């Protein structure tokens, strides 16, 4: 295996990734041993998405078309890991096109307080990437196919909605904590309404999502999705202000990243697989796929914070440093520039810390090493997806690995 920069830190990171994988592993099964395809082969015509699945992307009415904008996450970018021509968003057009309006309706129907309706629906405007529902529906359809079933179940689509609702509720709370000004190119929710109201609106979304989970009437799915919420809170808590030592830093960062970002994608993928009737081994493949995609997504996010402009991101650049956070690029850069150590400890609070750290990260191999680690997780996700029965949805899951790695915002 090729290493960029320090071999010692890379080996440490690899060991940590493995440990984290074992900690979060729910069932002790080897993903390599998953039965592939069951010798089951479908006529080629069923591998091509049906007309009504593609939908009419020309009609301009569809929320997902706006949400996706087919720009920041185009498949097959230069440096692409694969050759597939599948665009998961097009493939799932019919499943996803009403997802934001369905969430808005659900929230609006759940209260007659107009202002609460307005705040709670503010982020469901179709401007997000809808990454979580997209992965949920892809995994649902891929698992259904693996289980020789054709239709997306209503319960699986509900899980896709729930995942986006939990995500948005957490973003609202996060914007209050980070005192952010912008999200997705518009004023963040806390700028427009008081912190008290905004926090309540986040709680409200979470409460409605919890009712939707209960209505699925499936204990294992309830436990799986509830775990996401405890992970999110712990992940955010871990980020708030711990003073871990240099040795513990990467382990802390990876655990925090799993809890804050990957757990939602992993457990949602597992939930839809369980709903398809998949056995424990396939549910574990779904979980590990989501875990790897989630870790890669956050690593790329942490990288983009150093390389993407604020216009592209719709939020200020170097935001993490300004918030006092040492993410993967800084932790890697620290190997070459130990002067980052005291800055990390004082959370980049002294004048000039943010600018100096930003420069040192760019002068180091930290960004390449972060991309390298993200790629490793994407490759792992891709090989997990390849262990599912071949279908357009399985290919879509493979393409997602590529989208996550090559996204620009």
Binding status of residue 174 toward Mg ion by CB under 5 A: yes
Report the chain's C-alpha Rg in angstroms.
21
Binding status of residue 178 toward Mg ion by CB under 5 A: yes
Binding status of residue 174 toward ligand FPP by CB under 6 A: yes
Nearer to ligand FPP, 67 or 144 (CB): 67
Nearer to ligand FPP, 281 or 347 (CB): 347
Binding status of residue 395 toward Mg ion by CB under 5 A: no
Burial code of 70-105, b = ≥16 C-beta within 10 A, e = fewer?
Answer: eebbbbbeeeebeebebbbbbbbbbbbbbbbebbbe
Binding status of residue 260 toward ligand FPP by CB under 6 A: yes
Give, as ranges, the residues between 212 and 251 that touch ligand FPP (CB under 6 A): 229, 232-233, 236
**Contact criterion met (CB below 8 Å) for 298 and 262:** yes
Q: Which residues are paired to 186 by β-bridges? A: 183
Binding status of residue 143 toward ligand FPP by CB under 6 A: no
Binding track, positions 47-66, relative to ligand FPP; x by CB under 6 A: --------------------
Burial class of residue 313 in the structure, from the number of CB atoms within 10 Å of its CB (0-12 exposed, 13-18 middle, 19+ buried): buried
Give the one entry of Mg ion, ligand FPP, none that residue 398 binds, where binding means its C-beta sits below a cut-off of 5 to 8 angstroms depending on kind: none
Binding status of residue 329 toward ligand FPP by CB under 6 A: no
Binding status of residue 169 toward ligand FPP by CB under 6 A: yes
Give the one entry of ligand FPP, Mg ion, none that residue 274 binds, where binding means its C-beta sits below a cut-off of 5 to 8 angstroms depending on kind: none
Give the one entry of ligand FPP, Mg ion, none that residue 121 binds, where binding means its C-beta sits below a cut-off of 5 to 8 angstroms depending on kind: none
**CA dist list (Å): 299 to 203, 296, 303, 394:** 28, 5, 6, 23
CB of 307 to Mg ion, least distance (A): 18
**Contact criterion met (CB below 8 Å) for 259 and 235:** yes
Nearer to ligand FPP, 255 or 261 (CB): 261
Query: Which of 117, 144, 170, 257 is in the footprint of ligand FPP by CB under 6 A?
Result: 170
**CA dist list (Å): 57 to 68, 69, 90, 190:** 11, 11, 8, 34
Nearer to ligand FPP, 178 or 380 (CB): 178
CB of 223 to ligand FPP, least distance (A): 16
First-residue to last-residue Cα distance in the chain: 29
Element containing residue 84 per DSSP (H, E): none
Q: Which residues contact 190 (CB under 8 A, 6 or more apart)?
A: 172, 175, 176, 179, 180, 198
Which residue from 15, 127, 11, 143 is spatially nearest to 65, judged by alpha carbons? 127
Give the one entry of ligand FPP, Mg ion, none that residue 262 binds, where binding means its C-beta sits below a cut-off of 5 to 8 angstroms depending on kind: none
What residues line the site for Mg ion (CB under 5 A)?
174, 178
**Chain residues in the site for ligand FPP (CB under 6 A):** 166, 169-171, 173-174, 177-178, 180, 202, 206, 229, 232-233, 236, 260-261, 315, 319
């Amino acid at each position: 295996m090729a290493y960029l920069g320090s071999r010692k830190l890379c080996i440490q990171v690899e060991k940590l990734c493995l440990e984290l994988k074992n900690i979060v592993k729910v069932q002790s099964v080897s993903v390599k041993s998953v039965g592939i395809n069951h010798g089951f082969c479908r006529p080629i015509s069923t591998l091509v998405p049906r007309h009504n699945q593609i939908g009419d992307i020309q009609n301009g009415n569809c929320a997902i078309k706006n949400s996706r904008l087919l720009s920041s996450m185009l498949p097959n970018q230069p440096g692409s890991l694969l050759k597939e021509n599948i665009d998961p968003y097009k493939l799932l057009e019919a499943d996803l096109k009403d997802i934001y309006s369905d969430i808005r309706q659900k929230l609006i129907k759940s209260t007659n307080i107009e202002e609460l309706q307005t705040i709670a629906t503010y982020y469901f405007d179709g401007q997000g990437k809808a990454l979580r529902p997209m992965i949920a529906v892809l995994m649902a359809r891929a698992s259904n196919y693996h289980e020789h079933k054709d239709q997306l179940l209503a319960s699986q689509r509900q899980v896709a909605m729930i995942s986006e609702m939990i995500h948005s509720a957490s973003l609202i709370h996060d914007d209050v904590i980070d005192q952010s000004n912008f999200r997705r190119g518009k004023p963040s929710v806390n700028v427009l309404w008081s912190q008290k109201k905004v926090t309540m609106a986040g709680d409200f979304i979470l409460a409605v999502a919890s009712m939707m989970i209960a209505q699925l009437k499936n204990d294992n799915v309830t436990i799986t999705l509830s775990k996401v919420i405890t992970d999110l809170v712990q992940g955010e808590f871990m980020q708030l202000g711990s003073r871990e030592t240099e040795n513990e830093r990467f382990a802390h960062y990876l655990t925090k990243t799993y809890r804050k970002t990957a757990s939602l994608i992993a457990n949602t993928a597992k939930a839809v697989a369980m709903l398809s009737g998949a056995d424990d081994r396939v549910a574990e493949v779904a979980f590990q796929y989501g875990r790897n995609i989630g870790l890669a997504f956050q690593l790329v996010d942490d990288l983009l914070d150093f390389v993407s402009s604020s216009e592209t991101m719709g939020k200020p650049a170097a935001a993490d440093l300004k918030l006092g956070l040492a993410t993967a690029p800084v932790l890697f850069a620290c190997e070459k520039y130990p002067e980052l150590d005291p800055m990390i400890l004082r959370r980049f609070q002294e004048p000039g810390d943010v600018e100096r750290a930003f420069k040192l990260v760019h002068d180091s191999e930290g960004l390449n090493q972060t991309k390298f680690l993200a790629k490793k997780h994407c490759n792992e996700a891709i090989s997990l997806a390849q262990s599912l029965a071949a279908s357009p949805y399985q290919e879509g899951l493979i393409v997602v690995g590529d989208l996550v790695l090559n996204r620009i915002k």
